[in-house]
Structure 1
Amino acid sequence: MKARTERGERRPGRFGLVLAQVLVIALAAGLTARMWYLQIPMAEHYQRLAEANHIQELVVPATRGQILDSSGRALVRNRTELTVSADYHQLQRRPDGGEAVLRNVAEVVDVPFEDLRKRTRLCGPEVPRPCWPGSPYQPITLVEDVDAQLAMQIMERREDFPGITAQQRPVREYPMGDRAAQLLGYLQPVTEEELAEREDLRTQFTGVDNVGRGGVEAVYDDELRGTSGVRKYEVDRNGNVTGVYAETPPEPGAHLVTSVDERVQRATEDALARGLESAGGPADSAAAVVLDVKTGGVVAMASLPTYDPGVWEGGIDQETYNDLLSEEAGEPLTSRALQGQYPPASTFKVNSLAAGAENGVSLNETYSCPSSISVGNRSFENYEGSAHGSLSLHKAIVVSCNTVFYQMAYDMWKEDGGSTPDDEPVDAMTSMAHDFGFGEPTGIDLPHEGSGRVPDREWKKEYWESTREEACKRAKEGYPDEEDPEHAAYLKQVAKEQCTDGYRWRAGDAVNFSIGQGDLVVTPLQLARAYAAIANGGTLHVPRVGKALVSADGSEVRQIERGEPDELPVSDRTLEYLQSALADVPREGTAQGAFNGFPLDEVPVAGKTGTATGKGKKESGWFASYAPADDPQFAIVALISQGGTGGSVAAPVVREIYDGIYGFSSDDSDSDSDSDDSDEEAEDGDRDAGDAQQGEPALPGGEPPAELPTVRPDGSIAAPGESD
């Protein structure tokens, strides 16, 4: 029987005492474990939290690397400019919030006070622009590119300008001005949207830093930008800086060495500008590409209209930005060399000849070149109705006979079964176009590359499905707004055909394709790449602008991979046949007038003219080429949109680029050219360009440097092969 007290209450037994002791011990052990956990494993975490209460981090941007040409010349470099900045916290500690100080600054630098006041506001959801998007511990930029005398006035009167400093900062500089603008690109501040989407950016950007937005500035932005540093400030409870707690210095960005040659780029831009100006009339834009046929390196790339990339420095106003995008200004942000897509016209006949030769068309026979041929119910003509009798395919390239290629394409189309093939058609010409790299991006290291278009059977079906509804509507209603009744009737008939069976690959599609017309479009870069492949024996290189990345002190060099090239499915015999025919075009064919006086025996040039036509537009002139024809080094393509025939406007531009590369000059380089386009043989003396004279070559030796420039430890740059 359990023990009881005198009042009859039951005393706690041994079990109760043991339970109470266990609970006390367990609580003590739990408390001890928690204290150990907080003080040992979590010590570093809580130390960081404690430090965060009085430590503020500031990202210190790295100096951006330069963009160099193949010889080490600066295409884009940094310069320093004076900026007037304000300390946010010092201004806030002023009784008037810094208003008097800002008014003093406004008076000295001649900037409205209200503009300065707005710049010192911290950006936020309720704060409209302009405002300061960066850290409040970073100097707030009030005025950029300040005159040194004005900056000295502020620095010498510090008592009147508390919290205001004048300091130097690096900014981008473009030594070539508006040349190569689309290729090089530009910088713009990182956006809040980018920071929100990518958390990793927050460790590299302050909100006021710039990033590459176009060209190689964008593609190689990470490498050029370098690695930002971090400076940790000690601050008091009011946010005032009391000292520097720790600092990790930034690592400067690497220099980008490109395959571009600055002198060739200048020669290309100048020749293209003169060609566009001399074309006159409705000529609206132009492009040129110079490739190294042995590597695919971009030696020069030009597009007109162009613009000065310096307009982005310090921010761009809306009016200027609208001009860069406007059709009236020619959309200068667009690179016609990379993004412009045009019918290649007769320059495309190399594709048609290769397709025919690899699929049974004899290179040993002669073919009829009448003024026109009939296909279905349509007549397809030579340029201006010219006829050349019987000739070889070699001569058909030289004089640019359309009807030979019309007939070739028509015969191959019929062999495939026409518009209703029973078996899988060969479609040799469209297949060869894909093999030449048309219809898809080349893979160049530049953003926003155009893909062009190869209108094959598959594309025709997709296009029909997307346009059938409109075609059927037009087939029923016609074209009442068309002023020419005959043309309106023609358009209505075309709409009827498109509505019912527009998916079929018709004879007209095939013959137009054979001379680079119809729905086929290519970029100047794609065409230059194709001619480079013909020149080098069939290797289709991946074009590259970047060659190497070199650290700021020259201690590290990283070669940029070029990508795996493709091989043309064209026999050596066919390539040699093409090479021979193209070499005669400047000597006795449609480019003869443009190359009168050029030393073709010294530097033989191979090429092909082309003239693209379109309803309601003037002809656009092409010249695609490579040289020296007997040992190819460069492929050069030029296009003048709505400028005239290829022989009269584009070939002279290319000739002038070769003049610059090899140091030739003529005594009458500004003479007009009246040579016929790619579809008719030129007459001797159509363009008296004058006899070539030796000048200063843009590329001594006639080839790009094989070695890289040297970046010395002190940051200076030596040309390839230059002694240290």
Structure 2
Amino acid sequence: MSFFDSEEPGRGSLSDRRRIRAVGFAVFALFVALIARLYTLQVLQVSTYRSLATQNQVRSVVTSPPRGLIVDRNQNLLVGNQVVESLTVDQTIVTKSPWVLKNIATELGVPLANIQAAYNSPQQSPYAPVSVAYNVTKAQIIYIKEHPSLFPGVSSSLGTQRVYPEGTTASQVLGYVRQISASQLAQYAAAGYQAGDQIGQAGIEASYEKYLRGVPGKKTLQVNFAGKVVGTLANTPPKPGDNVVLNMDLNLQKAVESALSSQIAKLSHTYDPYRHQYFTNLSGAAVVENVNTGAIVAMASYPTYNPSVWVGNISQAAYNKITLPQYGDPTFNRAIAGEYTPGSTFKLATASAALSSGLISPYYYYNDTGIFNIPNCKVGSGLCSFHNSGFEHLGSINVTTALTASDDIFFYNLGYMFYANTQTYGTSPIQNMAAKYGWGSPTGVDLPGEARGLVDSPALRALLHKKYPKAYPYSSWYTADQLEMAFGQGETVITPIQMANAYATFANGGTRYVPQMVAGIVNQNGKVVKTFAPKVAAKVPLSAVDRAAMSAGFAGVISNPLGTAYGTFSGFPLSSYPLAGKTGTASVTGLEPNAWFVAYGPLPKPQYVVTVVVDHGGFGTSGAAPVVRTIFNYLRTHTIPPVTFGQPHIPAGATTYARYGIKTTPTATTSTTGVGGASKTGGSATAPATTTTTKKG
């Protein structure tokens, strides 16, 4: 036995004593650390944790403002707000008693799944009652309040919904609102938007969102440890949005929509003896523009729909019927986004290019034999010869007669002359002139979703060949391509708003304005916040002599027996209200042609241009011109008043201002300024009074 293994009586071994010392040191170290931590928490960081404790008891709830109203130039209400009652449930109660949701569904007569979906929406506030049903009747609310044992934690609150007193009128122009999507929230979070907020999704609602939205309010709520609201510490009320005043005239808008829809209904499924085909379900668009300011006083797209379908929870079936092509896609604004082959309406650009470049003069005559043969063409007679659409031959004619009679041969010849003299006139003189009129690029109209259109060209054909080699096997630009482009065929497509703007440019002497839907912004007190003056986009230079020659040709379209619309306007009082115009019949392979007609007047100082297109509507003179005549007959007999700013008028039949979000007696002031004449998902367009919440701390 070694010395180190010996033990003394009454004492443990050396290893035991060492273990006891180690444990003692560890316990001592833990006590020191605990004391240090307590000192840090209770002394050094007391202010920080006091703030966190306070934040755990305080929540901020955002209150949505009523959106601004949308009115026409006469302060007639187009889009308003309707105060509605909504049912809300206390989340802490539902967590313990989920059967409450079933009782609500039973009382309201709706599927339980609808109530559950609203309750479980991630866009609901975690610190405020959850809205599960909107537009609840007074009787239902009274019953629920009288039976608290069946509906514990259920209460009602006031909110607003969009209301459309004019029904389907201008639906595509006005647009609609819905809850902000996840992608939109990511885009607009910096502007203060939160989950559950309402945001404009189309039309004026979208393009003027920053004015219509208003300023959200804020409630600071006191919350207990269980998350239940026990008091309100502060409340900043929301500020309603500003009202948007359109250049649109409501009565004219209704007249335009009626004329367009009546003509389309008349043509649809009838037999066309000229083409020996039956018309299909047709669609179309119309635009009325003040030629001297660019103000859009009417814009129609058909088929149309009632935007109130977006209010509340839209069903999938209802959503399909307003968005899918087989139902006509009535939410699609064909006036700004529909692209149509222009046909002979394109001759505006070709004639302007030929005259302004010196290729021809107003005194140049060409012998129309009824057939144009491409010189030195050897690919076959079917591809070398072109004829007038009606196989007519007019003999010796100038540009004025060619426009009046819409003579194709004359314009084939112009296209060929440019093609054969590229060293003198360049490779794209017609395309360059078309661009000056605004064709091939967006007009800048203050509506979302505008299409840019296309003007056929060698560069476009090369691009199409690269992208779609099977559909476009050739990348070259041939003589026949040039001829087709010169009279509005080929790959050229133009929107109705572009067409109206181009002819407005010619009608006013060469100033192209940016089309403007909105005249100004007015706050809830009737004070003007902002007005929009006419904005010049470009100038189209034409000499007085050249312009006069073309003007005479456009006037002859309506007043000359040779004119393509002469018969359509028979009996119209042209002596007191002279008009000028142009037909367009644009061929579409295998289908009826697109029917165009555009006119401006009264001459000699035009005020309005009217453009109508009926998709696959046949000849322009029979498919579209009757609509233009009806619209001009309205303009002839009705005065479009100046824009007024002030408080909106109460719609007929309305008994309270509150129903439409109007709080004061309406007054109006006349403007003396120069303002002139698709999210593809279902959802809710209801804005409850309190919608979204942000957690602080």
- TM-score between both structures, scaled by the size of structure 2: 0.81
CA displacement 1:659-694 (0-9 Å, x = unmatched): 22333xxxxxxxxxxxxxxxxxxxxxxxxxxxxxxx
Q: Equivalents in 2 of 1:514, 1:145: separation in Å?
A: 58
1:346 offset after TM fit, Å?
Answer: 0.8
1:255 alignment counterpart? 243
Alignment pair present for 1:410 and 2:416? yes
Partner of 1:97: 97
The 2-side partners of 1:659 and 1:431 are apart by 35
**1:204 corresponds to 2:193:** yes
Q: What residue number does 1:686 align with?
A: none
Question: Per-residue deviation at 1:150?
Answer: 1.9
2:547 is equivalent to residue 575 of structure 1? yes
- The question of whether the paired residues in 1 share the 8 Å contact of 2:438 and 2:498 is answered with yes
Alignment partner, residue 157 of structure 2:
167
Aligned to 1:272: 260
Q: Tell me, yes or no, if the aligned pair for 1:552 and 1:711 is still in contact at 8 Å.
A: no
Residue in structure 1 matching 2:307, options 306, 309, 329: 309
Q: How large is the Cα RMSD of the aligned pairs?
A: 2.6
Equivalent runs, 1:89-128 vs 2, <5 Å: 89-92=92-95, 96-99=96-99, 101-121=100-120
Q: Deviations over 1:133-185 (max 9, x none)?
A: 21033332222222222222223444543322233321011122222121111
Choose between structure 1 and 2 for higher RCO, CA contacts under 8 A separated by at least 6 residues.
Answer: 2
**In the TM superposition, what whole-angstrom CA distance separates every residue of 1:343-370 from its partner, at most 9, and x where no partner exists?**
1111111111111101220102322222
Contact kept, 8 Å, 1:204 with 1:228, in 2: the verdict is no
| Counterpart secondary structure, 1:386 | coil
Q: TM-score, normalised by structure 1?
A: 0.79
What SS does structure 2 have at the residue aligned with 1:565? strand
**Percent of counterpart pairs with the same letter?**
32
1:222 equivalent in alignment to 2:228:
no
Q: CA 1:34 to 1:115, structure 2 compared with 1: closer, same or farther past 3 Å?
A: closer
**Equivalent position amino acid for 1:580 in 2:** A
Correspondence for 2:613 among 627, 639, 651: 639
> What SS class does the counterpart of residue 384 from structure 1 fall into?
coil
- Checking the alignment, whether the CA contact within 8 Å between 1:72 and 1:717 is kept in structure 2 is no
Q: Aligned partners of 2:643 and 2:209: how far apart in 1?
A: 25
Aligned to 1:437: 438
Per-residue CA deviation, residues 240-278 of structure 1 (Å, 9 max, x unaligned), is 111101111111100011111111111111000011111
Question: What do residues 506-540 of structure 1 show as CA deviations (whole Å, max 9, x unaligned)?
Answer: 21111111111111111111000001001111010
**Counterpart of 1:178?**
168
Deviation readout 1:454-498 (Å, 9 max, x if unpaired): 122222222233344x37xxxxxxxxxxxxxxxxxxxxxxxxxx7
C-alpha contact (below 8 Å) 2:522/2:646 kept by paired residues: no
Partner Cα separation in structure 2 for residue 709 and residue 579 of structure 1 = 40
Pick from 337, 343, 346: which aligns with 2:344? 346
Gaps of 5+ in 1: 1-31, 122-130, 418-422, 472-497, 664-696
* Equivalent position amino acid for 1:394 in 2: T
Alignment counterpart, residue 58 of structure 1, candidates 57, 61, 67: 61
Counterpart amino acid of 2:488?
G
Within-5 A mapping of 1:183-194 = 183-194=173-184
Deviation, 1:47, is 6.5
Partner of 2:316: 318
**Equivalent AA in structure 2 for residue 56 of structure 1:** R
Verify the 8 A CA contact 2:247 2:643 in the aligned structure 1: no
Match of 2:386 among 356, 376, 380: 380
Cα gap change, 1:717 to 1:598, in 2 (>3 Å): farther
**Aligned equivalents of 1:558 and 1:601: distance in 2?**
41
> Relative to structure 1, is the Cα distance of residues 148 and 33 closer, same or farther in structure 2, using a 3 angstrom cutoff?
closer
Which deviates more from structure 2 when the two are superposed, residues 634-643 or residues 312-321? 312-321
Q: 2:498 and 2:583 mapped to 1: Cα distance?
A: 16
Q: Report the counterpart of residue 354 of structure 2 in structure 1.
A: 356
**Is this contact kept in 1: 2:362–2:545, CA < 8 A?**
no
Relative to structure 1, the CA distance from residue 511 to residue 115 in structure 2 (aligned partners, 3 Å threshold; closer, same or farther) is closer
Map residues 538-687 of structure 1 onto 2, 5 A cutoff.
Answer: 538-560=510-532, 563-588=535-560, 589-663=563-637
Instruction: Select which of 50, 67, 71 maps to 1:68.
Output: 71
Amino acid at match of 1:658: F
Aligned-pair CA distance for 1:82: 2.5
- Residue 600 of structure 1 deviates from its aligned partner by 1.4
Is structure 2 residue 488 aligned with structure 1 residue 516?
yes
Q: CA deviation at 1:411?
A: 1.4
Structure 1 pair 267–47 and aligned structure 2 pair: CA distance change class (3 A): farther
Q: Distance in 1 between matches of 2:303 and 2:50?
A: 59
Q: Which amino acid aligns with 2:645?
A: L
Letter in 1 for 2:667: A
Change (3 A) 1:251 1:438: same
Distance in 1 (alpha carbons) for counterparts of 2:50 and 2:579: 73
The residue number in structure 2 matching 1:531 is 503
More displaced 10-residue stretch of structure 1: 449-458 or 144-153? 144-153
Q: Is the 8 A contact 1:538 1:575 kept in 2?
A: no
Opposite residue 609 of structure 1, the aligned amino acid is T
Note the residue ranges of structure 2 that are not aligned, 5 or more in a row.
Answer: 1-38, 269-278, 650-661, 672-697
The answer (yes or no) to whether the contact 1:550–1:711 under 8 Å persists in 2 is no
Q: What's the offset of the Cα at 1:381? A: 0.8
